Structure 1
Amino acid sequence: MTLNLMDVPTQAGGWFKPKEAASAVAILLEVKSFDRQRPTPNGPKDSVLADIAIFHSADHLDAGRPEVFKGQRIEQTVLARDLETVVGGAVLVTVTQVPPTKPGAHPAWVWRQVSDPLIVQKVMAYADQRDAAVQAAAASAPSFD
């Protein structure tokens, strides 16, 4: 029998801080779950649980070595709601702030889709290499049959 190994979506990666990823060249978000109005100490919030790979610079992108966070929680309102329809999938984005539309409001963090084909190609190569390493590790695991 062949096993279909999957990760259990758990929050082990803390909370996503957009300010720390604002200068990233690319962010690969693999969305595991979306919770509408999840209870928090600061009141209910829309919340996303995701695995995040942040390519902070072109060098990290070229080397295929992102900073990886498994099970990170995203609770910024606009960021979380934009990912509601992506559960089970992935997006390649950057994050930036947009000025407020109302006087006295705070700037909002928003996702921007990565459209540069060279960046997309390099991130896809990273994902293919990562998946191949996982398959190789699973193939070399002992069989208990």
Structure 2
Amino acid sequence: MALNLKTLPQANGGWFKPAENKGAVAILLEVKSFDRQRPTPNGPKDSALADVTIFGTQADLDAGTPAVHQGMRIEQTVLARDLETLVGGATVVTLDQVPAKKPGAYPAWVWRAQTDQAVVKKVVEYAERRDAAMEEAVAAAPDFD
């Protein structure tokens, strides 16, 4: 009898909390999917599912030791909507806040493209090393056929 193994959906990353990541040197977002008006306990919300790699400090970036969250939900209105066109792709960003349009409302979180090309280069190099290590591990896995 052959096993019908399936991979669990990558939904173990929790929810993205911008306030906890404000000031991060770089955030690598690898967007997996986007759901318009996904049902939630607080009503329907646009929602992005992404692998989120956070380089909180310059030391984290230099050492290549980010916090990695696979399958993280991003449901803040502007943050999620900005990721809709990036499904299947990746981007390197930072976080910022902009004043709310409505008086008395909280400032909105927004992504800002990381403009420091040296930072972007280090993030890309990290991702390339990570992907190469993954391919190497798969190639080194035993073949039982």
TM (normalized to structure 1)?
A: 0.92
- The answer for the alignment partner of 1:79 in structure 2 is 79
Which ranges in structure 1 are unaligned for 5 or more consecutive residues?
1-6
- The answer for the alignment partner of 1:104 in structure 2 is 104
Alignment of 1:101-140 (within 5 A): 101-140=101-140
Equivalenced residues, count: 139
Per-residue deviation, 1:11: 1.2
Q: Is the 8 A contact 1:9 1:49 kept in 2?
A: no
Per-residue deviation, 1:10: 2.4
Which ranges in structure 2 are unaligned for 5 or more consecutive residues?
1-6
- The answer for the alignment partner of 2:22 in structure 1 is 22
Amino acid at match of 2:59: D
TM (normalized to structure 2)?
A: 0.92
Per-residue deviation, 1:105: 1.8
Query: What secondary structure, in the 3-state scheme, does the structure 2 residue paired with 1:83 have?
Result: helix
Per-residue deviation, 1:82: 0.3
- Is structure 2 residue 15 aligned with structure 1 residue 44? no
d(CA) in 2 for partners of 1:97, 1:78: 11
Amino acid at match of 2:13: G
- The answer for the alignment partner of 1:62 in structure 2 is 62
Query: What secondary structure, in the 3-state scheme, does the structure 1 residue paired with 2:78 have?
Result: helix
Amino acid at match of 1:41: P
Across the aligned residues of Structure 1 and Structure 2, the Cα RMSD in angstroms comes to: 1.1
Per-residue deviation, 1:111: 0.2
Amino acid at match of 2:109: W
Aligned sequence identity (%): 66
Q: Is the 8 A contact 1:9 1:32 kept in 2?
A: no
- Is structure 2 residue 142 aligned with structure 1 residue 142? yes
Amino acid at match of 2:78: V
Per-residue deviation, 1:44: 0.3
Amino acid at match of 2:99: P
Amino acid at match of 2:66: P
d(CA) in 1 for partners of 2:117, 2:9: 30
d(CA) in 2 for partners of 1:110, 1:35: 19
